[in-house]
Amino acid sequence: MQVHFNLPGWEIAGESEFLGWLQNEWNFEGGEGDIYIVIIGHEEMKRMHQHFLNKTGTTDVLAFDLMQSRTEMDLDFPEPEEDPSDTDWIRGEVYVNLEQAIVQAKDYNNPIEEEAGRLALHGMLHLAGWMDNDDALREKMGKRENEGLSRAGTDQDKMPWRIITSQSQGGNK
């Protein structure tokens, strides 16, 4: 599990706690493999949304199972140490649109840390096989996200990580 910021001026204070929480949630799902969380902004998300899903505009999160997409996308990266055909091994990327997370955090009156965590978890759940293409599935997935966020500390209004900008060191709400 790794996180990479591709949005200048932003970082996670408590990155190891963030990744540890995500790893625990991935383990809870029985997931095996490498997951990369990439933090981006609206412009990069718009490009990806158009390129990969042929949809205009931005979105909050995209997830890609690179083992499944390897041949389709002609990807060239090293083979995993394990034979993925023998396991549920996944090499995945989750792209979180931090600028959209900020908008949604304000809309839902939640801390940015909670919304960014929710989006990262949401993408990971898609890699684990969760679907949200109808109301019942969305509700079920939302409940699972809430359970995971509760384990991270949202029920005590205390996230173990902070999202900060180079302009402020106190996090954002």
Prediction pTM value: 0.84
pLDDT tens, position by position, 52-68? 889 999 999 999 988 77
pLDDT for 87-137, tens place per residue?
Answer: 566 789 999 999 999 999 999 999 999 999 999 999 999 999 999 999 999
What is the rounded distance in angstroms from the CA atom of residue 4 to the CA atom of residue 38?
5
Q: Report how far residue 13's alpha carbon sits from residue 164's, in angstroms, rounded to the nearest whole number.
A: 7
Domain boundaries, the chain: 2-78+86-165
Q: What is the pLDDT of residue 169?
A: 42
Rounded Cα distance, 23 and 124, in Å: 10
List pLDDT tens digits, range 14-62.
999 999 999 999 999 988 888 999 999 999 999 999 998 899 999 999 9
How far apart are alpha carbons 142 and 136 in whole angstroms? Answer: 10
- Please report, to the nearest 10 degrees, the dihedral formed by the alpha carbons of residues 39, 43, 47, 52 taken in order: 40
Q: Which two tokens stand for residue 143?
A: 């409940």
Between the two ends of the chain, the Cα-to-Cα distance in Å is: 26
DSSP 72-120: HHT---PPPSS-GGGS-EEEEEEEEEHHHHHHHHHHHT--HHHHHHHHH
Q: Which CATH number fits domain 2-78+86-165: 3.40.640.10, 3.40.390.30, 1.10.150.120, 3.30.465.10?
A: 3.40.390.30
Radius of gyration of the CA atoms of the chain, in A: 16
d(C-alpha 92, C-alpha 84), whole Å: 13
